[in-house]
Amino acid sequence: MIAAFINCFKIRELRDRILLTLGLIFVARLGTHIPLPGIDPKPLEDYYDYVTRHTGQGGMLGMINIFTGGALRSGSILALGIMPYINASIFMQLFAAVEPHMARLAQEGDVGRQKISQYTRYATIGIAGIQAMMMLYVFAYHPEGIFKDAHFDASHPVILVSKPWFMFCGTILMTSGAMLLMWIGEQITQFGIGNGTSLLITVNILSNLPTAMGRVWAELHPTIGSEEAGLNSSQVILMIGLLVVVVAGIVMLTQGQRKIPVHYAKRVVGRRVFQSQSNFLPLKINYSGVMPIIFASAILMFPQQIFKYLNLLFGISIFQGLADTLTPGTTVYYMIYAFLIFVFSFFWVALMFKPIQVADDLKKYGGYIPGVPPGEPTAKFLDFTMTRLTFAGAIFLTVIAVLPSILAEYKHVDWVIAQFFGGTSTLIMVGVLLDTMRQVETFLLQRHYDGFLRKGRAKSNATRATQTLDQQEIKNLRPLWIPLVILLVLGIAAWAFNSANLPH
């Protein structure tokens, strides 16, 4: 393992890609600490700390804060994070599945994908602008609706400047911040080590790890005058063991697949003769990834807000009762949440997996599944197999998704700590880290170096001489290091200045 990390820096191209990725991640993390002009982040920080410590759940704002790496809690220009781009990408995927023109574009190769990428960028601008306006409107005109559970003090406003001017400037800055993160993600994907968007989310989630460890330490070693420690050493050991089990289960869920054997008959195309060969068709257990969790969370968020507004408009108590029932922390909420995750697992597979198309492609290229006739019987077999795999994957995904909420609500574990024991956060982290490690290992093996899990062949001098490294595109981005170093120096100086002026 250590040798593989060392080998990463022996290959010049891979080293440049890793350093470029780290530099761009540094820029993204730096932006999370730049607040919007005219906002006081203190109420946001107090609210987030109160909710995560005393209510046992973080709510939608808590989930957004985790995905943005604390940018929402700080009132940052990057408070929207990369989520508008992800929402636009999901929308385009769903649109391509039901709209014939988009479906044709998706099948036109690189040209079609570039068109879809351009449409995704335009959609990102619109989504980011709408989300920024809605968020800033609530902060400016109805902050008590958000902070009422944290005993909001109206004498301590969130906005310190003219509210219309703040909304105008803030919308532009937050939309620009979302587009900047989209650009950084694309640069990491193209010139870095890949998975740019997912890597940004993973880094943002991991940025909460020091906070979680600090809260574990605070509960183990309370200061004088504080509340009694909520955890003891045996509970921490059990939590570490549970974490290992959960991560191992997520790895199995992410990597698990059934390999359907496929045989290709001998065929002649023009003057070329293709010999018969055997291969396999991989069917993943968790084909839908984290999409069912995202859909279930989004759907459950809207009814609660709608019932709250209806209660405010008409003053009917039944609406408030329905809103309280759908509040995170209730048994009814978790039951509906688990049911929606289970249903959306099948919905996503039915939308994205096309057994008829797969069967037609196999028949077109002379492939067949042993014991299954080509054509419609193959499509039925694939659909039946995928349904069984999805059933098992949906059950496991539901358990993983609900586990953090159960720990936070019924075992009184801090919500920030509980997020690392399952749910969307851990699924994204494990999946992205596995993909990144796989890409780096493939790069090492292509250069005949030892990877993380597999050994590379010894590299001869002839192989070294014939290797070509495309460095021109990466060299064009090297001037970025100058402003990065300047920003690093300014950041350290600002931190030292603030630390020196803090009251002791």
- Provide the greatest CA pair distance for the chain: 86
Strands 272-274 and 277-284: unpaired
- Between CA 278 and CA 263 the distance in angstroms is 4
Which of the given ranges, 34-48, 219-233, 355-369, 406-420, has the highest pLDDT on average? 355-369
- Between CA 188 and CA 186 the distance in angstroms is 5
Phi and psi (nearest 5°) for 238?
A: -65, -40
Residue 460 pLDDT greater than 50, yes or no: no
- Between CA 320 and CA 358 the distance in angstroms is 49
Q: If you write DSSP's letter for every residue of 78-115 in order, what string do you get? A: TTTTTHHHHHHHHHHHHHHHH-HHHHHHHTSTHHHHHH
Q: Greater confidence, 30 or 306?
A: 30
Q: Greater confidence, 204 or 294?
A: 204
CB 201 within 8 A of CB 432: yes
User: CA separation (Å) from 310 to 60, 143, 303, 327, 492?
Assistant: 20, 19, 10, 16, 49
Residue 228 pLDDT greater than 50, yes or no: no
- Between CA 231 and CA 41 the distance in angstroms is 30
CA angle 252, 354, 428 (to 5 degrees): 35
Predicted local confidence at residue 193, as pLDDT? 85
> Exposed, middle or buried by CB within 10 Å (0-12, 13-18, 19+), for 95?
middle
Predicted local confidence at residue 388, as pLDDT? 92
Residue owning tokens 């800033």:
136
CA angle 421, 85, 473 (to 5 degrees): 105
Residue 237 pLDDT greater than 90, yes or no: no
Predicted local confidence at residue 461, as pLDDT? 41
CB 287 within 8 A of CB 393: yes
Which of the given ranges, 188-202, 421-435, 463-477, has the highest pLDDT on average? 188-202
Predicted local confidence at residue 470, as pLDDT? 45
Radius of gyration of the chain (CA): 26
CB 49 within 8 A of CB 74: no
Residue owning tokens 């050493």:
233
Helix (H) or strand (E) holding 272: strand 272-274
Residue 65 pLDDT greater than 70, yes or no: yes
Question: CA torsion sign, 148 to 152 to 154 to 156?
Answer: negative
Its pTM stands at 0.75
Residue 472 pLDDT greater than 80, yes or no: no
User: Is residue 181 very low, low, confident or very high in pLDDT (cuts 50, 70, 90)?
Assistant: very high
Q: What are residue 264's DSSP bridge partners?
A: 277, 367
Mean pLDDT of 474-478: 55
Predicted local confidence at residue 458, as pLDDT? 42
Predicted local confidence at residue 230, as pLDDT? 61
According to DSSP H, which parts of 32-82 are helical? 42-50, 59-67
Look up residue 9 and give its DSSP letter.
Answer: T
CB 275 within 8 A of CB 384: no
User: Is residue 421 very low, low, confident or very high in pLDDT (cuts 50, 70, 90)?
Assistant: confident
Task: Give the side-chain half-sphere CA count within 13 A for 144.
Answer: 3
Residue 389 CA from chain centroid, whole number: 24
What is the tens place of the pLDDT at every residue in 193-219? 888 888 888 888 888 888 888 877 877
User: CA separation (Å) from 318 to 160, 307, 310, 328?
Assistant: 37, 9, 10, 18
- Between CA 279 and CA 369 the distance in angstroms is 10
User: CA separation (Å) from 172 to 43, 147, 167, 178?
Assistant: 23, 25, 9, 10
* Range of weakest confidence among 69-73, 219-223, 453-457: 453-457
Percent of the chain whose predicted confidence (pLDDT) is above 90: 9
Helix (H) or strand (E) holding 262: strand 257-264
- Between CA 307 and CA 323 the distance in angstroms is 5
What is the tens place of the pLDDT at every residue in 256-290? 888 999 888 776 666 676 666 788 888 988 888 87
Predicted local confidence at residue 298, as pLDDT? 67
Predicted local confidence at residue 208, as pLDDT? 83
